[in-house]
Structure 1
Amino acid sequence: MKNIISLFYKNLFLTNRLFAALACSVVLFLFDFFFPWMGIIPELVFWALIVLVIIDMLLLYKPAKGVFARRHAPERLSNSDNNELGVYIENLYTFNVSVGIIDEIPFQFQKRDVWFKTALEPRERKLINYILRPTRRGEYEFGDIRVYVKSPLGLIRRRYNFDQAETLPVYPSFLQMRKYELMAISNRLTDIGIKKMRRIGHSLEFEQVKTYVTGDDYRTINWKATARQGNLMVNSYTDEKSQHVYSIIDKSRAMKMPFEGLSLLDYAINASLVLSNVALLKEDKAGLITISEKLGAVVPADRRPAHLNKILEVLYKEKTRYLETDMEMLYATIRKVIKQRSLVVFFTNFESLNALQRQLPFLRRIAKYHLLLVVFFENTELKTLSEMPAADVEGIYIKTIAEKFAYDKKLIVKELSRHGIQSILSAPQNLTVNTINRYLEIKAKQKI
């Protein structure tokens, strides 16, 4: 009995309307002191208010279960994307109610305003949708759903607590991966910045002999087949398949730097996931290596249907470390794991030319055996500083230093090119598009 009374008081909340009515009652009692002719009017008003409060309590507390609520959430959330969640609410009362809903979202979002207000007619159901954008991978713990119900009288609120505690994993951006996949299937990649690359010559992978139609390259005419058939026949070629594409992700402290809530490592992970998916759609084999001061995950190149999920599960767990990358170990791993010439996309970051010089000998060794593409990041904050006009001497110093760092990035690109190493210098938000563009360009030019 004691627990029931305790729960009753814990879930009972007074509204502003009740406080306003009590204030009016107090004012009437004050007026009664100065104007005796008011008689028992203040008392009548007060007791009428008490009766209304009791009626309101009976309306809200008579049914054991007046409303029902549950959370609609996906099995996993996509990092750096807008994920849609919802709260299903159903009114089991026989009268109209107004409700306020609090969904206890994970602390990582640092939001205290997830409050939804709505009105429900008897037996009405609603689904209230909202958006969450996580910026870190890992497990996110959701709490209960709390619903505050108010009757048409609106003097008190009754709180309902629904146990909806659950833990949802936040994976690398699989929503972005699906978007690029759908664009690739429907040949609409140009809508999101993916360029169509003009093919130089034709692929060496033979597909079939077909009848000549206007527009076919006359250099591909098969004269023997033409003589047999009596019609012009041409050889048809297709893109070379089963080429190996490896994403190598640097997990050292250089990738800890944040941009727009995400670390450089998260940008690299999202881009490598999309690249792997596009490579599999092109019928190439995708692989993955993660590295820091010690070797991380190694996923040999493959193109089986479940291979992308394997890469996704590996990327989900990766975190930045605080020491420099062991490039000698990376070179030894590449020589051991990658047995044929492949496209090796190395996601890393260089802030100065000296940082590149320390790794350049190993990059040159890798480039001897594979087509190496080094992907590193443009410091957009410094670029913004270098473009701002200087207002004083301190501003001139800051602008000069920012310009020097930006110039160093361009020198890094030239230095890599001088040693025959391809590179991409990209702003973090454009990393995925720029990486896919370069992969398609390399495929079109048959450089692998």
Structure 2
Amino acid sequence: MKKLFGLFYKDLFLGNRLFACLAGSVVLFLLGFFFPWMGEIPVLVFWLLMIVIFIDLLMLYRNREGVFARRMAPERLSNSDDNELGIYIENRYPFNISVGIIDEIPFQFQQRDIWFKTVLKPRERKQISYTLRPTRRGEYEFGDIRVFVKSPLGLISRRYNFNQAEVLPVYPSFLQMRKYELMAISNRLTDIGIKKIRRIGHSLEFEQVKNYVAGDDYRTINWKATARRGDLMVNSYTDEKSQHVYCIIDKSRAMKMPFEGLSLLDYAINASLVLSNVALLKEDKAGLITVSEKIGAVVPADSKYTQLNKILEVLYKEKTRYLETNMEALYTTVRRVIKQRSLVVFFTNYESMPALQRQLPFLKRIARFHLLLVVFFENTELKTLSEEPATDVEGIYIKTIAEKFAYDKKLMVKELAAHGIQSILSTPQNLTVNTINRYLEIKARQKI
């Protein structure tokens, strides 16, 4: 009995309307001292209020399970994307209720405003949707759902606690990956900034002989088929397939720098996942290598159906380290793992020319055997500082230093090009689009 009373007291909350009614009752008692003609009116009002409170308690507590709530969440969340979640709520009372809902979301979001208010009719069911945007990979622990119910009287509220504790993993941006996948399948990549590349010549993989249409390359006319059919016929060629595409992700301290809530490593991971998916859709083989002061994960290139899930599981666990990249170990691993000429996309970051010079000898060795594409990041904060007008001596100094760093980034691109190494200097938010553009350009120009 004591336990039941404790639970009753614990889940009982007094409403603002009740406090207003009690304040009004107190005012009536005070007025009764000055106006004797009021007589027993304050006492009658007080006991009437007590009866209404008792009725309100009876309405809320006569049902053991007056409401039901459940969180509607996916099996996993996508990093840096808006993930949709929902709360299913059901009214089991025979009257209208006002409901306040608190969903205890993980502390990583640092949000305390997940509070929803709604009104439910008798036996009505409703689903409330909201979105969460995680900025770190890992496990996110959700807590309980707490529902506060008020009857039409609205004097008190009863709390229901629903044990919905669960842990959801946050994976690299698979929602972004699916978006690009659908665009690639429907040939609508240009809608999101992917450029069409004009082909120069054609690959060696013959596909079919077809009728000539305006715009076809006249150099592909098949004169023998034309003579037999009496109509112009042209040879159709397709992209070369089964080429190897490796993404190498630098996990050193250079990739720890944050941008809009995500680290540069997270941007590189998201771009690698999308690039691997597009490569598999183009019937190439995708692989992955991660490196910091030592070699991390190695996923040999393959085109199997399970390859993308294998890459996704590996990227989910990767974290930045705090030491320099071991380029010697990377070169040894590339020579050991990658047996044929491949496209090697190296995601890293350089903030100064000496940082590039330290790695350049190893990059040149890798470029001797493979088509190397170095992807590094443009510092948008420095770019903003360099474009702002200077108003004093300190401003001139800051602007000059920012322009120097921005100019060094452009020198790095030229330095890499001078040694036959392709590069992409990209802002973090445009990294995925720029990387896919370059991959499609390389395939169209048959450079692998």
TM-score over 0.5 for the pair = yes
Distance in 2, Cα, partners of 1:271 & 1:255: 14
CA distance in 2: counterparts of 1:209 and 1:29, whole angstroms: 100
Structure 1 pair 55/197, CA: closer, same or farther in 2 (3 Å)? Answer: same
Mapped partners of 1:261, 1:341: distance in 2: 37
* Corresponding residue number in structure 1 for 2:442: 442
Q: Does 1:340 align with 2:340?
A: yes
SS at match of 1:70: strand
Give the direction of change, closer, same or farther, for the CA distance of 1:67–1:181 in structure 2 (3 Å limit).
same
Matched residues in 2 for 1:111 and 1:184: separation? Answer: 36
Q: Distance in 2 between matches of 1:214 and 1:127?
A: 54
Structure 1 alignment gaps of length 5 or more: none
Instruction: Indicate how the Cα distance of structure 1 residues 247 and 70 shifts in structure 2: closer, same or farther if over 3 A, else same.
Output: same
Query: What one-letter code is carried by the residue in structure 2 that aligns with 1:152?
Result: P
Worse-matched range after superposition: 205-214 or 194-203:
205-214
1:137 aligns with 2:137: yes
Query: 1:212-361 alignment to 2 at 5 Å?
Result: 212-226=212-226, 232-361=232-361
How far did residue 86 of structure 1 move?
0.2
Q: Which runs of 5+ in 2 are unaligned?
A: none
Q: Name 1:24's counterpart in structure 2.
A: 24
- Single out whichever of 222-231 and 325-334 deviates more from structure 2: 222-231
Structure 2 match to 1:4: 4
Q: What letter is aligned with 1:84?
A: E
Residue 207 of structure 1 deviates from its aligned partner by 1.3
Q: Please name the residue that 1:13 is paired with.
A: 13
The alpha-carbon deviation at position 402 of structure 1 amounts to 1.2
The 5 Å alignment of 1:193-208 reads 193-208=193-208
1:112 aligns with 2:112: yes
Give the superposition deviation at 1:223.
3.7
Q: Matched residues in 2 for 1:213 and 1:378: separation?
A: 44
1:218 shift after superposition: 2.8
The code of the aligned residue for 2:187 comes to N
For 2:170, the aligned partner's letter is V
Q: Find the aligned partners of 1:392 and 1:234 in 2 and give their Cα distance.
A: 67
- Give the letter for the 2:402 counterpart: A
**Identity rate of aligned residues, in percent?**
84
Paired residue secondary structure (2:123): coil
| Deviation readout 1:328-373 (Å, 9 max, x if unpaired) | 0000000000011111000000000010000000000001111100
Letter matched to residue 332 of structure 2: A
- Amino acid across the alignment from 1:32: G
DSSP 3-state at the match of 1:152: coil
Aligned-partner SS, 1:80: coil
Correspondence list, 1:34-433, <5 A: 34-226=34-226, 232-433=232-433
Take 2:215 and 2:432, find their aligned partners in 1: how far apart are those partners?
34
Offset, 1:214: 4.7
**Post-superposition CA distance 1:126-162 (Å, at most 9, x none):** 0000000000000000010000000000000000000
Inter-partner Cα distance in structure 2 for 1:181 and 1:113: 35
| 1:433 Cα deviation from its structure 2 partner | 0.5
The two structures have a TM-score, normalised by structure 2, of 0.98
User: Matches of 2:282 and 2:112 in 1, distance apart?
Assistant: 45
CA distance in 2: counterparts of 1:356 and 1:412, whole angstroms: 7
Give how far 1:227 is off.
5.2
Q: Aligned partner of 2:446: which letter?
A: Q
Aligned residue pairs, count: 448
In structure 1, what residue type is equivalent to 2:130? Y
d(CA) in 2 for partners of 1:394, 1:320: 34
Q: Give, as a single letter, the amino acid of the residue that structure 2 aligns with 1:290.
A: T
1:135 aligns to what SS in structure 2?
coil
Distance 1:400 1:214 in 2: 54
